[in-house]
Amino acid sequence: MEINYLCPKCKSFLNIGNKIVLSVKVKNEQKGLMLFEKELGNYQIKKHDLVEYKKGELLGFYCPICHENLALDDVNSNLAKIIMLDENNKEYDVIFSKVAGEHATFKISNNEIEAYGEDSHKYINFFGHSPKY
């Protein structure tokens, strides 16, 4: 089975091919779809040219199907969450930074945190114990 990503609320699949599709809202209220790489730690994205933002701007991420806000405000207002199912159907929380240009992603199961991205050290204190790199 391939790795799949799901909306935490409606459990719809968010991935197509090697991409994850999320709905994004930027400061000027422009909305659009954004494509992310399924591979954790790969921060290449695809978006519409008119969806513009500056580095450091806080973006809003939403499920493209049910429009649930993916923000994880109870942990940190800079973070958002989706669900990952690995090849063995094991479930993880995948938490990522909503700050434009910031590279921080965490794959979390019951007792393990894996961190990705050079900015992930900014958030390790929010998860109770240190991630492995």
Q: Establish if 63 lies at the interface with Zn ion (CB under 5 A).
A: yes
Q: Give the total of residues touching Zn ion (CB under 5 A).
A: 7
Nearer to Zn ion, 70 or 115 (CB): 70
Nearer to Zn ion, 70 or 113 (CB): 70
User: Cβ distance 7 to 92 under 8 Å?
Assistant: no
Nearer to Zn ion, 10 or 33 (CB): 10
Of residues 37, 34, 12, the one with CA closest to residue 23: 34
Q: Which part of the chain contacts Zn ion (CB under 5 A), choosing from 10-18, 77-85, 91-99, 123-131?
A: 10-18
Q: Three-state SS for 127? A: helix
User: In the 8-state DSSP scheme, what is residue 57?
Assistant: P
Helix and strand totals (H; E) in the chain: 0, 10
Residue ranges that bind Zn ion, judged by CB under 5 A: 7, 9-10, 63, 65-66, 68
